[in-house]
Structure 1
């Protein structure tokens, strides 16, 4: 292995995420945006975890030093998606970008509208 033979460092030692002040708890993407099921394979539904953060910083450490950049969204090696937007449409756009899913403005509206209708129906009294 090159790490042992050449004294190289593991990539995981060089690149890392640092996020400050997570907002709330981590949750499944499909719990927050149920209509995203249409853009994912069913086996992905229970595996994509999202975390809203106050800020995200990508840090790259090399023998020459450490370089950091502020990001609006990121994905860690476990697949967890971090995002900074508080507004639902922007949050969904940041998450989709990290997942490599292209959503049009119309797609974003449809996903958000569907989620809003589900929340409204859940809070409505039963019809008699």
Structure 2
């Protein structure tokens, strides 16, 4: 995972933003819950989904490099796809966060989204091939 390249404090921000984003459509799916549990387990982060009072600007200030901001956006988009679609509320929230991070280049955001989508396609294709009978 690219999140391995983040500091522990930055990973906490990714988790907090992801939990906040998952609640954006007022319906946290089972897949989103699993993603958040896996992320918290992988990095020793307390599993707490109550991030409604999160200070977004303070959280984003921890992402002090372009690499950290890109990885964060990638993780947030990945979470958004977990329930099968990247919904309008989630897209708007990710776009707003990207703008606050200074990454408001639409073409660049589309590249990150394509990167995430290709990753899901790659996993799906592999699962299909491994599930085929000889």
TM-score by length of 1: 0.34
Higher strand share: 1
Largest Rg, 1 or 2: 1
TM-score by length of 2: 0.33
